[in-house]
Structures are given as C-alpha cells and as structure tokens.
Amino acid sequence: MISGNDLRNGMTILHDGDVYRVEYFQHVKPGKGNAFTRTKLRNLENDSIIEHTFKAKDNIEQAMVERKEAEFLYQDGQAYYLMDPETYEQFPIPAERCEHIAPFLKENMRVTVTMHEGRVLDISLPNFVELEVAKTDPGVRGDTASGGSKPATLETGGVIQVPLFVEEGEVIQIDTRTGEYLKRV
C-alpha cells in the first residue's frame, strides 16, 4: 500500500478493481485543508483515461505488472496468438485488443506483453519495424511542387502514407508509435 503522496508517473495501481497506469500527477497543498494529488490514469485493459483526485491519507494498492517478451504466431480473425519464447506456451489475445498494433504486426515478430496476475493488459511493438510495400500506385514525377505522398498497402494489410518515390516490393522502416514512414531499407 502506498499513500496518495507517493504516486508518480508510470506507476501501476489498482483502482476500482482495474489496473491503471499513472499518466500524470500533481501534488497540491492548499493554504487551507489537506494536501491531495490530482491524477490522470490510463486503464491498461481498455485504454480509457480517467481523472481522479487522491487525498494524501488515501491508501492505494500498487499493481505489480510483469513485462515480458513474446512472439506473434498467427491470427485467426477472432484472436491473435502469441507464444512465450522461454516456455513455448501459447496464449490468445482477443482481436479487438490488438487493433492498434495490427497494421504493423508480422508473423514471428517479437512484442512486449504487459501482464497482471496472468492476464494480458497491453501489447506493444518495437518502436521501429521494417515491412514490405505490397501495393502502391506509381509516383509520377512533377505531380507536386514539393514532396508529396501516396497511400501504400503493407504486407500486413495496413495502409500508410509514403513518399512518391517508394515502389511496390521495397522494404521500408516505419515508426509504430506514429504510423509514419521513416526511410527505405
């Protein structure tokens, strides 16, 4: 148990039966009254954000989460299947929990899984991935005065904007945090 004064960014806590990560905190000591802490909390299961105020004397239970590496095996429409590379144990993740990473998720890719008491809370990709462009229109020189971009379908089915010079079959590097094209590989 920790007090309201002990909250820090990145901590994971149990609040109303769910696991939350502290995204923002502000300790407030008013001239009159007791100190308190304003927070923004992200629910790690459904990714929603709530604002909550804790009193300094509140007892808050800290959630012990485990982060470990897993390998993406396949997807069957209803679930994504991951494997623990140490034990070779496979576990399914419902498809709706993977929508944010699906455009960049490739078979045999290593991902980081955040777990609490055996439940998967979050899946995160490496910051940068290299994927092949499966389909894109040819870029025509002179179409734009400066730069320009076009949609490209990746080998995973995801669609991103790429510069006009990128062609089908090329391997490109993508920032998974923003979904932006970085460079050709």
Going from N- to C-terminal start, the domains of the chain cover 2-62, 66-124, 129-184
pLDDT at 144: 55
CATH class in words for 2-62: mainly beta
CATH class in words for 129-184: mainly beta
Q: Which residues share a beta bridge with 14?
A: 19, 61
Is residue 181 within 8 A of residue 172, CB to CB? The reply is yes
CATH classification number, 66-124, choose in 3.40.50.300, 3.90.1150.10, 2.40.50.140, 2.40.30.10: 2.40.50.140
d(CA 161, CA 58): 48
The residue among 147, 152, 121 whose CA lies nearest residue 134 is 152
pLDDT at 51: 93
Rounded to a whole number of angstroms, the CA Rg of the chain reads: 21
**Cα dihedral 97→100→104→110 (10° resolution):** -50
Model's pTM, two decimal places? 0.70
**Cα dihedral 149→152→154→158 (10° resolution):** 90
pLDDT tens for the chain, residues 1 to 185: 888 888 888 888 998 888 998 999 998 888 888 888 999 998 888 778 899 998 888 888 988 888 889 999 988 888 889 898 888 888 888 888 888 888 888 888 899 888 888 888 888 888 898 888 888 888 666 555 566 788 888 888 888 888 888 888 889 998 888 888 888 88
pLDDT at 146: 60
pLDDT at 40: 93
d(CA 133, CA 149): 14
